[in-house]
A and B are shown apart, each in its own frame.
Chain A
Amino acid sequence: MDWGNFPVMAIIISSLWIVGIILIGINKNNRWLKLSGKSLLVLGIIILSTLLATLWVQLERPPLRTLGETRLWYSVFLAAIGLIFYLRWKYYWFIVYSFFMAGLFLVLNIYMPENFNKTLMPALHSPWFVPHVIVYIIAYALLGASSIVAVVQLYYNYKGQNKQHNAIQLSDNLVYLGFSFLTMGLLFGALWAKEAWGHYWTWDPKETWAFLTWAVYLIYIHGRIRNSIKVNTALWILAMGFVILLMCWFGVNYLPSAANSVHTYSNA
């Protein structure tokens, strides 16, 4: 397998997921349909993980440098989180969303591979590289999921159908888990920065936006203590939080304030 075969693999995985999702949704009372649907989802996740492992071996470095590579990880974690949270909370729409997003990220990579490049600059040769990025991507996947829960709930509220009272609990769970990973990612980054660049925090644009992301979710968590802020406000914070998160992940590279950022690795 090399990057040239990627489109075929991506289509196989996406198809497995689409069929799996349909099988689960087609008849909610049929155990066998649901079980085979879940098996297909798991199979897709396994193939994608194998593909990542193969890439790692072939590139002779962790496939975590370019945005295209991080999208693959996002895809596999989002799928896994979607499945686990579906098994726990039984929201069909949630699994549809997470696999749709996971599939979308795979398909995006067919058109924008940004890859097949073995080189890794000296600053990235560090034992911190893998934990820092993976922990962040798990956080992004969880927090992305919490935002979609929020947006769906805001839509229901807007329509006056207040069906899902425990949606806010679902997003609380996602945010708590996501925030713990986000904190670890931030701190790993600080410890690494001290080793690589001499200071744990220099307010580099990527760091600034990472702090902003962290602070928004921190506000959400405090606001949710004994319903200190209205549920609707909390949901809006989550929706906004994801915009800032995306800004941190993709957007920073395009900001004029990031012209001197040390975090732009992909356009080398």
Chain B
Amino acid sequence: MITERKVWDHPWDYKEGIIITLTILLLGFTLEYSTGGAGITHLIVYPNNIYFGIGFVVILLLISLFGRSSPVVEWLESIPAAIFSIGLLLFVSLLMGLTMQYDNNATGLIRKLGLSHIVTSWPYMLSNLFLLITLGLITIKNLRSFRWNKIGFIVSHVGLWIVLFGANFGTPQMQRLQMEVHEGEIVNTSVDISTNESHTMPFAVKLVDFILDEYNPKLALINNKSGKVFQTNGMGLMIIDSGASSNINEWHITVDEYLYSSAKAGNKYYSINEMGAAPSAFITAINTNGNTVEGWISCGSYNRPYESLKLDDNYSVVMLFPEPKEFTSVIEIYKPNSDPIYVNLKVNKPMVVDGWKLYQLSYDSKLGKWSDISVIELIRDPWLPIVYTGIFLMLIGAIYMFWMGTSNRKTKVDDKPNKTN
């Protein structure tokens, strides 16, 4: 005779899953609220993160070894537990996706419940732990009964567990500093922007040169009254170059001459190479009625005025500031007892010195290509190799999944069989 299973009778299933998940969520918000929205940042600081991390792994292993017969552990290894633990993290992340994060102006309930800083809040922490537990237990279980046909499962699950573990327990040890260097100057201190603390680096940096490579500037029509750029469907801007032409609104515009670096003398611009010399162009505009207007335009620079060309009562032609293509700091790095290293530091091309990764961050944008300041970001993340190991395993798992497709599902993986519906 089949009798109906009551809630909390083993084996547990989806009903218990809902209750457990909601309890964890409620606990998270209660803890956050009771601390007034202080979050977990002050708890998980170095070296606590190491102790917590080791403790967590030990407990997980002990549960897996000695709790195998427990129906609760059996449930934690089940598919419903997997779905609910992913679902809980999904829900918490959804809150993060809908609310403004890192918002220091947040007050009231938003702040007290941790909604303005979810990544460092209790609900986020607990949902991560819940997922690390379910994912960890099922992975250990499958590792204990390893067979080669489970390799796809194991690689992807171990990979994800390592990434989550490394990201959660390792981030407190990450250091992010900034160093501002003037041309010709040697600097060995950097500042933590979040705390304003100054740090002395194990090396010094000299900025030899800062180079900003720009695209040619764009040309646009602007409305004389509103000052708005005329644009339809994303069209209406043209890149200025000698000989270029384009139709914008009712005007056919031709660039007769383009000077990359110039200055005005009398009514004309001449090529010149000095601080603040701005791009300029001589253009001819003909409208559909045959009216012709010609003249010089320039976007100016920090020390030179801009010049626009009035076409009619409604529109003028202007040159927009050139957009940066690439910026490079030519730097020399000095370390005790070794020769200086000469490097070109660019965006997307960081370099590593003594465990610190150096990034080209910014420059004096007011001076643009004449900037003699470069801001370098220095980042140290001792847990990075761990996280990268996880990412690498997940990538292998993804490629395996692509290769095997749904035939993957025929692989028998140990977990609790469920009732079929």
User: Could you list which residues of chain A lie within 8 angstroms of chain B, going by C-beta atoms?
Assistant: 66, 68, 111-123, 125-126, 169, 172-173, 176-177, 179-181, 183-184, 187, 190-191, 194-196, 198-201, 203, 205, 208-209, 211-212, 215-216, 218-219, 222-231, 255-257, 259-260, 268
Contacts and interface: CB of A to CB of B under 8 A. Distances in A.
B79 A212 contact: no
A206 B387 CA distance: 21
Contacts of A115: 234-235
Contacts of B239: 117-119
A94 B7 CA distance: 43
A187 to B, nearest CB: 5
Nearest to B391: A187
A120 B94 CA distance: 31
Contacts of A177: 402, 405
Given A116-B235, A169-B406, A176-B408, A122 B97 contact: no
Contacts of A255: 97-98
Ranked nearest first, the 7 interchain pairs of A and B with the lowest CB-CB distance are A114-B234, A180-B402, A183-B398, A122-B347, A180-B401, A215-B90, A126-B348
Given A122-B327, A179-B401, A187-B398, A208 B234 contact: no
B325 interface: yes
B352 to A, nearest CB: 11
Nearest to B78: A228
Given A183-B394, A222-B86, A198 B233 contact: no
A200 B82 CA distance: 25
Given A121-B324, A196-B348, A203-B96, A219 B174 contact: no
A125 B347 contact: yes
B409 interface: yes
B312 interface: no
A256 B324 CA distance: 27
A126 B347 CA distance: 9
13 contacts: A116-B237, A117-B237, A122-B325, A123-B347, A176-B406, A180-B399, A183-B397, A196-B347, A199-B176, A203-B96, A222-B83, A231-B421, A257-B96
The contact size tier of chain B is 35 or more
A191 B239 CA distance: 33
B326 interface: yes
A180 B398 contact: yes
A201 B174 CA distance: 12
A40 B102 CA distance: 53
B201 interface: no
A118 B244 CA distance: 14
Contacts of B118: 203
B101 interface: yes
Given A228-B80, A228-B418, A208 B97 contact: yes
A184 B417 contact: no
B184 interface: no
Interface in B266-303: none
Nearest to B325: A122
Contacts of A183: 394-395, 397-398, 401
B93 interface: yes
